[in-house]
């Protein structure tokens, strides 16, 4: 059974998808083919080489500091911990807080020892007080800053997620007297689980208790600062990230413009009476259509053996617009692709709703709008079975679709990431893939909305 992954903007490494593969193999392929999950074909679609290129290497981006972007409300210690984990090596750059401090008891969460000064006047949480998903997200945010190669990092996060969700972990955390004991326990449990999951050729296998550099010190520092650091201090640190934000935004805008300008091999008028032969996909949509053709061939080979294997597509960000144009225009109107169908499409962090509001799709029509009190019909079921659109309120580049499209399964997902990291946070959280697997089971039960 084939699975297609389409990346979003700003990706220039064709192997970047490999950090997603461990998640897909662990949580998704077994839902696509329970009998043989290891042999599910995954077709990565890489279109980054055709993305925007800057003639002056981005010299138009200002280098001034970005200040004053604070929180609307004071974040909780758990929320601060996830945010600070995502800030990575800048953790040590936090300025000293001018707030009045008080002394925290030794056994409180985030305490670095007796008489540790803190800002918070409320009793902070212990690790044992976090929910399974909060603990998993906290560990994932921290692990993403450790500098391991992407595949190993993904395995680490999966191991940490397993530990966070294990009832035995919860019982053991309850028995810990201090946060330091909790951290030591988690370090040991994650190491054990990683060794169980990793293949024998993984270079981290068997490296002993110190396999993960400075885990204990890093987590202790992170948790301590999460309690000591009020929102306005964190917002001050965010000013250091303007170059990062500038780069992400300019690449996003640039890749969008390049796609819109070149999604057709030659300019044509997209009219209802247009002949299919007039449509010639450009280089970026062709990357997806080629992968879909491979998946379709795999599907046909399975059907010849008496098995139905659905085609599942996962997209991130701009990948959603590429797939929407494909299922609404290229598949219906280009003869070569008219027999192909996406049985389940998961669009994460997409701008499909926004693009339709601006009427930028090849199939967009002014006949549908809020003023006319109607929605855009769901794409023809001959070409698309299910569409799950996933967005995060912290991700300013993700958009909803339920008010725009009929029958779309539109859902909020809380990645627990800061605004800086939320756009990619979906695909780095095991909790997302577990929900994805649940959606596939539901779709299977209704036969993938086969027409």
Q: What is the pLDDT of the chain when averaged over all its residues? A: 78
pLDDT confidence of residue 321: 97
Name the 3-class secondary structure at 415. coil
Report whether pLDDT(116) > 50.
no
Q: Is 62 domain-assigned?
A: no
pLDDT confidence of residue 245: 61
Specify whether 114 is located in the same domain as 218.
yes
pLDDT confidence of residue 449: 94
Specify whether 48 is located in the same domain as 92.
no
pLDDT confidence of residue 81: 58
Lowest mean pLDDT among 13-17, 76-80, 103-107, 426-430: 103-107
Specify whether 266 is located in the same domain as 405.
yes
Report whether pLDDT(415) > 50.
yes
Say if strands 102-104 and 116-118 run parallel, antiparallel, or are unpaired: antiparallel
- Identify each DSSP E strand in 295-439 by its residue range: 312-316, 342-348, 384-391, 409-412
Last residue of a domain, one of 195, 229, 263: 229
Specify whether 182 is located in the same domain as 312.
no
Specify whether 82 is located in the same domain as 37.
no
Identify which has the larger pLDDT, 125 or 361: 361
The mean per-residue pLDDT over the stretch 93-109 comes to 37
Specify whether 152 is located in the same domain as 266.
no
Contact 312, 343 (CB under 8 A): yes
Lowest mean pLDDT among 9-23, 150-164, 367-381, 409-423: 409-423
Q: List the domain range (segments joined by +) for residue 86.
A: 77-229
Here the tokens at position 43 are 């077709």
CATH code, 425:
3.40.50.1820
Q: Is 329 domain-assigned?
A: yes
Specify whether 115 is located in the same domain as 158.
yes
Q: How distant is the alpha carbon of residue 25 from its chain centre?
A: 16
pLDDT confidence of residue 307: 83
Q: Is 92 domain-assigned?
A: yes
Q: How distant is the alpha carbon of residue 425 from its chain centre?
A: 4
Q: Is 13 domain-assigned?
A: yes
Q: Is 60 domain-assigned?
A: no
Lowest mean pLDDT among 55-59, 279-283, 300-304, 309-313: 55-59
Report whether pLDDT(288) > 60.
yes
Give helix 215-228 / helix 77-86 axis angle, nearest 10°. 130
Report whether pLDDT(63) > 90.
no
Last residue of a domain, one of 174, 194, 229: 229
Name the 3-class secondary structure at 312. strand
Specify whether 33 is located in the same domain as 161.
no
Give the whole-number percent of the chain exceeding pLDDT 70: 70
Report whether pLDDT(289) > 90.
yes
Specify whether 84 is located in the same domain as 209.
yes
Report whether pLDDT(331) > 80.
yes
The mean per-residue pLDDT over the stretch 236-247 comes to 53
Ordered alpha helix ranges (H), 90-198: 132-143, 150-165, 167-175, 179-197
Question: Domain total for the chain?
Answer: 2
pLDDT confidence of residue 171: 94
pLDDT in tens, 177-222: 988 889 889 988 998 898 888 776 665 544 444 445 566 666 666 6
What is the spatial distance between Cα 348 and Cα 389, in angstroms, rounded to a whole number? 6
pLDDT confidence of residue 268: 52
pLDDT confidence of residue 166: 95
Specify whether 99 is located in the same domain as 192.
yes
Q: How confident is the model at residue 346 (pLDDT cuts 50, 70, 90)?
A: very high
Segment holding 6, helix H or strand E: strand 3-6
Q: Is 67 domain-assigned?
A: no
Torsion (CA) 214, 215, 220, 223 in degrees, nearest 10: 130
- Quick one: which of 115, 100, 32, 62 has its CA closest to 310? 32
Q: Is 82 domain-assigned?
A: yes
Last residue of a domain, one of 229, 252, 269: 229
pLDDT confidence of residue 148: 62
Contact 75, 36 (CB under 8 A): no
The mean per-residue pLDDT over the stretch 221-248 comes to 54
- Quick one: which of 10, 25, 28, 33 has its CA closest to 307? 33
Q: Is 61 domain-assigned?
A: no
Specify whether 329 is located in the same domain as 414.
yes
pLDDT in tens, 136-171: 877 887 777 665 677 888 888 899 999 999 999 999
**Residue 393 burial (CB count, 10 A):** 13
- Quick one: which of 178, 306, 231 has its CA closest to 68? 231
What is the spatial distance between Cα 180 and Cα 248, in angstroms, rounded to a whole number? 37
Here the tokens at position 248 are 């992400």
Specify whether 439 is located in the same domain as 387.
yes
């Amino acid at each position: 059974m084939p699975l297609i992954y389409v990346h979003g903007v700003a990706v220039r490494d064709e192997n970047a998808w490999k950090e997603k593969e461990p998640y897909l193999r662990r949580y998704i392929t077994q839902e696509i083919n329970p009998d043989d999950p290891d042999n599910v074909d995954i077709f990565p679609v890489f279109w980054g080489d055709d993305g925007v290129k800057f003639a002056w290497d981005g010299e138009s981006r200002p280098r001034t500091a970005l200040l004053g972007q604070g929180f609307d409300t004071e974040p909780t210690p758990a929320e601060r911990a996830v945010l600070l984990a995502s800030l990575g090596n800048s953790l040590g750059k936090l300025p000293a807080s001018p707030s009045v401090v008080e002394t925290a008891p030794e056994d409180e969460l985030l305490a670095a020892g007796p008489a540790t000064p803190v800002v918070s006047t409320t009793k902070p949480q212990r690790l044992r007080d976090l929910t399974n998903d909060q603990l998993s997200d906290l560990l994932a945010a921290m692990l993403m800053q450790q500098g391991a190669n992407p595949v190993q990092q993904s395995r680490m996060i999966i191991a940490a997620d397993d530990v966070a969700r294990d009832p035995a972990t919860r019982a053991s955390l309850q028995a810990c007297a201090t946060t330091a004991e909790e951290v030591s326990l988690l370090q040991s449990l994650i190491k054990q689980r990683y060794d169980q999951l990793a293949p024998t050729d993984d270079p981290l296998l068997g490296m002993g208790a110190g396999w993960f550099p400075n885990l204990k010190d890093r987590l202790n520092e992170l948790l301590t600062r999460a309690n000591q650091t009020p929102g306005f201090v964190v917002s001050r640190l965010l000013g250091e990230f303007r170059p990062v934000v500038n780069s992400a935004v300019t690449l996003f805008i640039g890749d969008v413009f390049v796609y819109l300008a070149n999604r057709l091999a030659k300019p044509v008028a997209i009219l209802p009476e247009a002949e299919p032969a007039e449509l010639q996909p450009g280089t970026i949509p062709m990357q997806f259509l080629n992968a879909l053709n491979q998946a379709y061939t795999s599907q046909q080979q399975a059907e010849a053996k008496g098995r139905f294997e659905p085609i599942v597509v996962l997209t991130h960000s701009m990948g959603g617009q590429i797939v929407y144009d494909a299922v609404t225009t290229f598949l219906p109107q280009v003869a070569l692709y008219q027999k192909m169908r996406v049985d389940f499409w998961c669009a994460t962090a997409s701008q499909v709703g926004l693009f339709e509001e601006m009427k930028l799709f090849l199939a967009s029509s002014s006949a549908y709008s809020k003023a006319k009190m109607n929605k855009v019909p769901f794409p023809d079921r001959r070409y698309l079975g299910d569409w799950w659109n996933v967005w995060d309120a912290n991700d300013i580049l993700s958009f909803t679709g339920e008010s725009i499209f009929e029958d779309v399964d539109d859902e909020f997902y809380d990645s627990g990431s800061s605004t800086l990291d939320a756009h990619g946070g979906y695909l780095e959280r095991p909790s997302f893939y577990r929900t994805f697997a649940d959606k596939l089971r539901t779709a299977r039960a209704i036969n993938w909305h086969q027409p």
